[in-house]
Amino acid sequence: MSELLVVGSVAYDSIRTPHGEVEEEPGGAAIYFSLAASHYSKVNLVGVVGDDFDQNLLNKLQQRGIDLRGLERIEKAKTFRWKGFYESDLEAQTERTDLNVFADFAPCLPEEYRSTPFLFLGNIDPEVQLSVLDQMDGPRMVACDTMNYWIEGKPEQLARVLKQTDIFFLNATEAELMTGKANLIQAAQELRKLGPSIVIIKKGEHGVFMVGREWQFVLPGFPVSIVKDPTGAGDSFGGGFMGYLARSGGTSFSTLKSALVHGNIIASFAVQEFGVKGVSDLESWDLDERYQRFVRLTHFQA
């Protein structure tokens, strides 16, 4: 089993959806990703919080084997906060963003982290992603995520990140924004020209589309009856995917397909609860049972 390093946001989220509302719920890309990935591999987390962040959650992360030596805690300061809502289309609408300690996030990786073979750069400023890459000692696999804010605001810096990226995660809207192509096959082909050998386009409840040099793979979303909170679904998916890759140590087409399935399953749990509860309270038998159900749902005799 190889280790996995994630660099990303740690936050408090206030969320309203058609199924309820929560205030000041712990979240952030690095938390969702780490909790999901920890079901498969050892995770090292790099992020920043204020002195107001819930110590009980940090204890729970450590109990799951997540290394927090890279999590900086700043005294007399507040943690990053996001407030938003989802309507029936489940597209996130931002009401308020308070960056707080995240505004000056400049990670300095612990020496022990720099040789981690699998690296995931969460949805953060491409300049911060580049600074992390500069501190790494030749990772075997680099994956990154992004969003429309960085696509439009820092395209040159993002392009530099992608030249050093093996796997690129983004959603269908972002793929069209970057390439001008509404067709996902065409969009993925254009994105691969920027550097990544593998492009993974997330389609929410409709599943995911993965494209490599000589192959394509499409997977439906695991069907759930109620989506309480989509926040963190993509990060949980990425954690399950990268965690499985780190555990297997391989990147064959077969392994990548299996990783996609596991990421899909983790994400289906994430959306069924508000905040990180959907991924933090999982047990191995929950994953095994849903994996078997997913196999039965998607299997057919050729």
What pLDDT, on the 0 to 100 scale, is given for residue 6?
Answer: 98
Phi, psi (rounded to 5 degrees) for 26: -55, 140
Q: CB 286: neighbour CB atoms within 10 A?
A: 13
Model pTM? 0.95
Question: How far apart are alpha carbons 167 and 297 in whole angstroms?
Answer: 27
Spatial contact of 217 and 260, defined as CB atoms under 8 Å apart: yes
Buried b (16+ CB within 10 A) or exposed e, 17-30: beeeebeebbbbbb
Residues present in the chain in total:
302
* Residue type at 151 in one-letter notation: I
- Dihedrals φ, ψ of 74, to 5°? -105, 125
- Name the CA dihedral angle for 39, 44, 46, 51, rounded to a multiple of 10 degrees: 80
- Nearest partner of 41 among 267, 248, 198, 183, judged by Cα: 248
Is 93 in contact with 87 (CB distance < 8 Å)?
Answer: yes
Lookup result for tokens 């507040």: 78
pLDDT of residue 1: 66
- Dihedral, 203, 300, 242, 248 alpha carbons, nearest 10: -170
Strands 141-145 and 167-171: parallel
Token pair belonging to 73? 């805690």
Please name every residue paired with 201 in a beta bridge, in sequence order, or none if there are none.
170, 209
Task: Please list the rounded mean pLDDT of every run of 10 residues in the chain (302 residues).
Answer: 92 94 95 96 97 92 95 96 88 91 95 97 97 96 95 96 98 96 96 97 92 94 92 95 93 94 95 93 91 90 80
Q: Which domains does the chain have, with CATH numbers?
A: 4-298 (3.40.1190.20)
Long-range CB contacts for residues 151-157, cutoff 8 Å, separation at least 24: 151/177, 151/178, 152/177, 154/125, 154/126, 154/127, 157/125, 157/126, 157/127, 157/130
